[in-house]
């Protein structure tokens, strides 16, 4: 692609600050896909590459210390993910995309509810802060944000929830 644009890439880039993969790379079982650092901050945490997962250099080095060779990596391509950490419930939202990677026209309200209903451990056992949920969905920045605590009684809906 670069060569076609008149900007051919070198066959080898030596280690150092100009290496686009940063200080460390993880090979995955998928040919051509890596988890790696970067010599540029642009594109980290975004869908800007051809499938690689770019991380801040300090984070990829920290991950390298934590994950031994052979660690299973699960790639989850879902726009809305719920998780629990430290007794708190989090929501992570990304821009929904179609099969070609283009932004998708999707009913975000329905998509968030469907993602929540897939989590049997959460669906009927928490009280969500819907104002925060709306903000997380609107931001679509991939950052997990606390939205609820499990074990709380569900709130009664006094007004409809509308996502934009």
pLDDT at 76 over 60: yes
Q: Is 50 annotated as catalytic?
A: no
The pLDDT of 31-38, averaged and rounded, is 88
The confidence band for 153, taking pLDDT boundaries of 50, 70 and 90, is low
pLDDT at 151 over 80: no
pLDDT at 3 over 80: no
Q: Is 94 annotated as catalytic?
A: no
Q: Could you write out the three-class secondary structure of 97-129?
A: ECCCCCECCCCHHHHHHHHHHCCCCCCCCEEEC
161: which 2 tokens?
């929830």
pLDDT (0 to 100) of residue 49: 66
- In this structure, are 63 and 128 located in the same domain? no
Q: How many domains does the chain have?
A: 2
- In this structure, are 84 and 17 located in the same domain? no
Answer yes or no: is 159 within a domain. Answer: no
User: In which domain, by residue range, is 107 found?
Assistant: 80-150
Task: Count CB-CB contacts under 10 A for residue 37.
Answer: 22
pLDDT at 162 over 50: no
Answer yes or no: is 157 within a domain. Answer: no
Which of the listed residues 75, 94, 118 is the one where a domain comes to its end? 75
The pLDDT of 81-89, averaged and rounded, is 90
Which of the listed residues 75, 107, 139 is the one where a domain comes to its end? 75
pLDDT (0 to 100) of residue 161: 46
pLDDT at 164 over 70: no
Helix 108-117 to helix 130-139 angle (10° resolution) is: 110
- In this structure, are 84 and 62 located in the same domain? no
Answer yes or no: is 125 within a domain. Answer: yes
- Which residue out of 2, 52, 94, 109 is catalytically annotated? 52
- The single-letter DSSP state of residue 51 is S
- Which residue out of 36, 50, 94, 109 is catalytically annotated? 36
Q: How far apart are CA 43 and CA 87, in angstroms?
A: 31
The pLDDT of 100-119, averaged and rounded, is 88
- Looking at every residue in the chain, the average pLDDT score rounds to 84
Task: Count CB-CB contacts under 10 A for residue 150.
Answer: 13
Q: How far apart are CA 22 and CA 37, in angstroms?
A: 4
């Amino acid at each position: 692609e670069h060569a076609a644009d008149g900007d051919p890439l070198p066959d080898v880039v030596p280690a150092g600050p100009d290496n686009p993969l940063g200080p460390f790379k993880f090979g995955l079982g998928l040919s051509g896909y890596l988890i790696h650092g970067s010599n540029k901050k642009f594109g980290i945490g975004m869908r800007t590459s051809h499938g690689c997962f770019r991380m801040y250099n300090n984070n990829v080095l920290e991950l390298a210390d934590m994950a031994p060779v052979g660690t299973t990596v699960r790639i989850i391509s879902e726009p809305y993910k719920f998780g629990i950490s430290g007794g708190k419930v989090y929501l992570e939202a990304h821009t929904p995309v179609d099969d070609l990677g283009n932004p998708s026209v999707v009913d975000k309200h329905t998509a968030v509810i469907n993602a929540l209903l897939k989590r049997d451990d959460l669906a009927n056992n928490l009280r969500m802060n819907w104002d925060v949920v709306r903000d997380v969905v609107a931001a679509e920045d991939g950052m997990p944000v606390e939205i609820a605590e499990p074990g709380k009684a569900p709130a009664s809906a006094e007004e409809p929830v509308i996502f934009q």
